[in-house]
Structure 1
Amino acid sequence: MARNTLVQADPNAPPITRLLAEFVANHPSRGWSDAVDHEAHRTFLNWLGCAVGAAYHEAAEAALAAVGVLQPAPQATVAGRPERVDIASAALLNGIASHIFDFDDTHLKTIIHPAGPVASALLALAELTGASGRQVIDALVLGVDVACRMGNVIYPEHYDRGWHITGTTGMLGAAAGCARLLGLDAGRTQMALGIAASQPVGLREQFGTMTKPFHPGAAARAGLMSALLARQGFTASPRALEAPRGFAQVVSDKSAWHEATDELGRRFEISFNSYKPFACGIVIHPSIDACVQLRAQGVRAEQVERIELKVHPLVLELTGKKEPADGLQGKFSVYHGCAAGLILGKASEDEYTDEIVNRADMVALRRKVEATVDERIGEASADMAAVLTDGRRIHIFVEHAIGSLQRPMSDADLAAKFSGMSDPVLGAPRSAALIAACWGLGEAADVRALAALARPA
């Protein structure tokens, strides 16, 4: 029986591979508002802080040891480490490290963490080529735009199938950004996107393991190599994104083509980036926020008889671990998140150690959390009622958590977050210098000075 028919394939999709390539290659430098440019600096700062902070995590150590077998040439920085490796390995390692803490940026419309793949590839390539900071910022804005626009095309059906969308669109953003940094023309940028389209990486089955942060790292490496291949004349389908057997139609039942091109060059997806105040999955943040607010009202854990929590279905699907055994599993437990919010008043990386997750008072409180699904609750919201031992009932509804676009972290908040992760690795004076370099990146003549600051003195 013939098996060459694709169900519901669209043979007349617009040429989005070509249109996005022309956009990346030809859009003018700094061709956007000051607000967009500032958001790019915030994105880069947040990404680098996360990467430095996780430099000595066991997952980062294992990945660096694996790369070492290849005897890589010392071309680029591994953030937070004295070692230097080849650019492909640096893209991989920094992409992994930036996502280890689950503390990175989030494009809320798609739940993509775009800086991990894109910035990791760009810093490695820029360090080798001696690119200016302005070139890096330009490439970051355009690369994030490609990744998130393609995410808009296929989300949520793609994610619901079990793909980790950060990896599966991140390689496109990394390819686009690196093509821009290399100065490829539209034709070769189109080939870079085509090569990257054959390399989607990431399954949601891996959440809760070291392989989850591998996804943005592998996407960074894949996108970087796609651009390098295209520069040498390596070819791909010119319709790799939109063809019936191309990326979008293979990995998703949804193909909202207009999302790739609507207001292209006028609306930039990096404007919709958000940054996490809590080191865990974004869907837990409203629940943690509610418990932090409960603590601010003077309520303590010993006063709580139970916490009734109503959340969007995705919350329990992704973070429904009632009895996390270690810190990594704790990041996928809305129950632990609530306990951290009320008992500790925060949920940074320090609140996700094995010791904290298994502490008796944390365990006792999370067992008092009764989480149920309510289809009426949005992904960005949580409805919480705390029933106290004295009979009081305190209701808190969080429509948008701190860190969201509606309640964004300030520049000072991001700098403090960076310091909290980087100071233990680089020391406070070097961290401060690195923060200043990130804010001034767009004016830097050569990105190598910033990369040097990201290594221990």
Structure 2
Amino acid sequence: MSEGADLTATIVRLSRAATTDIPPATLEMAKLCVLDWFGLALAGSREPLSMLLHDAALTEGALPAATIVGRTFGFSPRQAALVNGAAGHALDYDDVNLAMRVHPTTVILPGVLALAEAQGLSGSAVLQAFVAGYEAAGMIGALVSASHYARGFHATGTIGAFGAAAACAHLLGLDEAATARAYGLAGSQAAGLKAQFGTMAKSLHAGRAAEAGLTSALWAQAGMTARPDLLERPLGFIATQTDGAPAGGVRWNGHALDRNLFKHHAACFGTHGTLEAIGALRREGLRPEQVRAIRLKVDAGADAMCNIAAPRTGLEAKFSLRFNAALALHGADTSDSATYADAVVLRPDLEASRAVTTVELAPPDWPEDVTEVTVTTLDGETLVRRHDISLPPGDLATQRPRLHAKFLALAAPVIGHERAERAAAAIGRLEHSADLSELLALMRDPDLGAVR
């Protein structure tokens, strides 16, 4: 624990210590994060933003050292971290940690993978680095994310950059002093604004955070100087971008990774309470033609996150509580990213249901992660359901087969079902892999060959 004078040093020390004797359940969660992310990055590699970034990387040229997932080998680690980080977030279907308000895996893992591939490092080293980065982001997020996020910063791009730097520094074997400098370098690159939600720029935040973490660690390794106390320093990150750290400083209360949450709807996590609550009512027999009105009661913070009232694109729809209420009411498969295609947004039946849906912003004492749905039917009946998005859908044994199915659904259209099954098996034994060559070879587009 730190009283504030040495926050950065404390977080560096604790995140490194978190990689010693990683509990089996925490290691399993890390591998599920890897599995989930690879599926998303493969599917996301076909999104317009990913293709734009991939084409830019081709134009730049580089010494071939790393793989862009769903594409080929032949890029620099920096290029791979940027493109893969953006691709993993492009569908807005990737994991979350509510305490830090970050989509953690897509910012922490890509730089680690790129460096490990370039340097021939083991799967065990990758997992340990991932844990170090996750815990660093978790501690920083717990300190600052509430006020930082409320100010309009996209924490995936900002806090995520610190987590990525911590992970890459750990993988490179940097000592505590060099790792603190990597934090300082990452802090000067940390960026992302919630005003970009509903555009490609939101996913770009994730790619830039992964890239920033990787370059910061490499620059620190090379001897570049930076403030080693950037988090707590006057005019540093906390002073300029938050309302201040809470009294008591840093506390590590067990692995933040254990509280990772996976998405099963391809939309902003803030809409998932609506999707689950209305989905439950539909399973009980509710149909669109019965509904007079729907009221969604949500935490006031949702207004700046997922309250686009009248979306006109698929990206905007992912951040619309009203539109997701309509999707759930009509029984749409929101686990399928194609549900959020531009054409779907203009369907008259969905627009009609959206039009009778209102959003009520709850008072400050409302539980932040709870959505309450009230449906008034044409015959005067009132139906009420609540859902708490902070509660995982079962233990790891329950989640594992569901995530495996999600991975196959996302990965198979890109690399084929047989290769996807082999890739999932390789991730399952990742801690025993001498390097990443087998796994990453499976993650390339089989029609593009081994070189770009």
TM-score range, shorter chain: over 0.9
Shift of 1:24: 4.5
Contact 1:121 1:221 in 2 (8 A): yes
Report the CA distance shift for 1:258/1:449 in structure 2 as closer, same or farther (over 3 A). farther
Which residues of structure 1 form unaligned runs of 5+?
1-11
Residues 1:356 and 2:344 are matched in the alignment: yes
1: distance between equivalents of 2:210 and 2:82? 6
SS in 1 for 2:80: helix
Aligned-residue Cα RMSD (Å) equals 1.8
Which of 389, 397, 414 lines up with 2:378 in the alignment? 389
Candidates 10, 14, 35, aligned match of 2:5: 14
Distance between the aligned counterparts of 1:321 and 1:190, measured in 2? Answer: 39
After the TM superposition, which segments of 4 or more aligned residues of structure 1 sit over 4 Å from their partners? 406-409
How far residue 121 of structure 1 moved from its aligned partner, in angstroms, is 0.8
Q: Residue 112 of structure 1: which of 75, 81, 102 is its match?
A: 102
Q: List aligned pairs for 1:239-388, cutoff 5 A.
A: 239-256=229-246, 258=248, 260=250, 262-263=251-252, 267-348=254-335, 349-375=337-363, 376-388=365-377
Report the 3-state secondary structure (helix = DSSP H, G, I; strand = E; otherwise coil) of the residue aligned with 2:60: coil
User: Equivalents in 2 of 1:374, 1:233: separation in Å?
Assistant: 50
1:213: how far off? 0.6
Deviations 1:349-393, CA, capped at 9 Å, x for gaps: 121111221112111111121221222532311111222223332
Amino acid at match of 1:285: H
Amino acid at match of 1:370: T
Kindly provide the CA deviation profile for residues 36-79 of structure 1, in whole angstroms up to 9, marking residues without a partner as x: 11111111111221111111111111111222221123211111
- Counterpart AA for 1:350: A
Identity of aligned residues (%): 33
Cα–Cα, structure 1 residues 405 and 254, in superposed 2: closer, same or farther, change >3 Å? farther
User: Contact conserved, 1:96 with 1:215, CA < 8 A, in 2?
Assistant: yes
Structure 2 match to 1:138: 128
Q: Is the 8 A contact 1:311 1:381 kept in 2?
A: yes
Counterpart-to-counterpart distance in 1, 2:238 and 2:412: 42
| Structure 1 Cα separation of the partners of residues 170 and 349 of structure 2 | 52
Higher mean C-alpha displacement, 150-159 vs 187-196: 187-196
Deviation at 1:83, TM superposition (A): 5.2
The superposition leaves residues 171-211 of structure 1 with CA deviations (integer Å, 9 ceiling, x where unpaired) of 11111111111111222212212221211111111111111
In structure 1, C-alpha distance between the alignment counterparts of 2:332 and 2:282, rounded to whole Å: 7
| TM-score where L is the length of structure 1 | 0.92
| More divergent stretch after superposition (353-362 vs 281-290) | 353-362
Classify 1:428/1:45 alpha carbon distance in 2 versus 1 (closer, same or farther; 3 Å).
Answer: same
With over 3 angstroms needed to count, the CA separation of the structure-2 counterparts of 1:407 and 1:159, relative to structure 1, is same
The question of 1:46 aligning with 2:36 is answered yes
Q: Indicate the SS of the match to 1:106.
A: coil
Decide whether aligned partners of structure 1 residues 184 and 281 sit closer, same or farther in structure 2, where only a CA change above 3 A counts: same
Going from structure 1 to structure 2, the CA distance change for 1:231 and 1:132 (only over 3 Å counts) comes to: same
Residue 54 (structure 2) pairs with residue 64 (structure 1): yes
One-letter identity of the residue aligned with 1:432: E
**Could you say which residue in structure 2 is the equivalent of 1:4?**
none
Alignment of 1:156 with 2:143, yes or no, is no
1:430 aligns with 419
Provide the rounded CA distance (Å) in 2 between the counterparts of 1:211 and 1:259.
33
Secondary structure in 1 matching 2:373 = strand
Other-structure match for 2:449: none
Distance in 2 (alpha carbons) for counterparts of 1:377 and 1:186: 41
Q: 2:18–2:255: 8 Å Cα contact kept in structure 1? A: no
CA contact (8 A) 2:179 2:217 kept: yes
Distance in 1 (alpha carbons) for counterparts of 2:249 and 2:443: 36
Distance in 2 (CA, whole Å) between partners of 1:334 and 1:72 is 43
Q: How many residues are treated as equivalent by the alignment?
A: 440
Q: What is the aligned partner in structure 1 of residue 78 from structure 2?
A: 88
TM-score when scaled to structure 2?
0.93
1:395-428 alpha-carbon deviations (Å, 9 max, x no partner): 2122x24x83365671111111111211111111
The 1:259/1:81 distance shift into structure 2, 3 A limit, reads farther
**CA offset at residue 93 of structure 1?**
0.3
- Alignment match of 2:164 (pick from 174, 187, 198): 174
On the 8 A contact 2:393/2:399 being kept in 1, the answer is no
| Separation in 1, partners of 2:249, 2:273 | 28
Displacement of 1:259: 5.2
Q: Kindly state the Cα deviation for residue 218 of structure 1 after the two structures are TM-superposed.
A: 0.5
Residue 297 of structure 1: how far off its partner (Å): 0.7
What is the CA distance between 1:258 and its match in structure 2?
A: 4.2
1:277–1:244 Cα change, 3 Å: same
Is the CA contact (8 Å cut-off) linking 2:45 and 2:71 kept in structure 1? yes
- Note the C-alpha offset of 1:160: 1.3
SS at match of 1:110: coil
For each residue in 1:319-366, what CA deviation from the matched residue of structure 2 results, as whole angstroms up to 9, or x when unmatched?
A: 222221110010110111111112124312121111221112111111
Letter in 1 for 2:193: L
Partner SS, residue 179 of structure 1 = helix
Q: Which moved more, 1:414-423 or 1:13-22?
A: 13-22
Q: Evaluate the alpha carbon distance shift between residue 69 and residue 128 of structure 1 in structure 2; reply closer, same or farther with a 3 A threshold.
A: same
Q: Residue 219 of structure 2: which of 229, 247, 265 is its match?
A: 229
Q: Which residue of 2 aligns with 1:99?
A: 89
Q: Distance in 2 between matches of 1:137 and 1:345?
A: 36
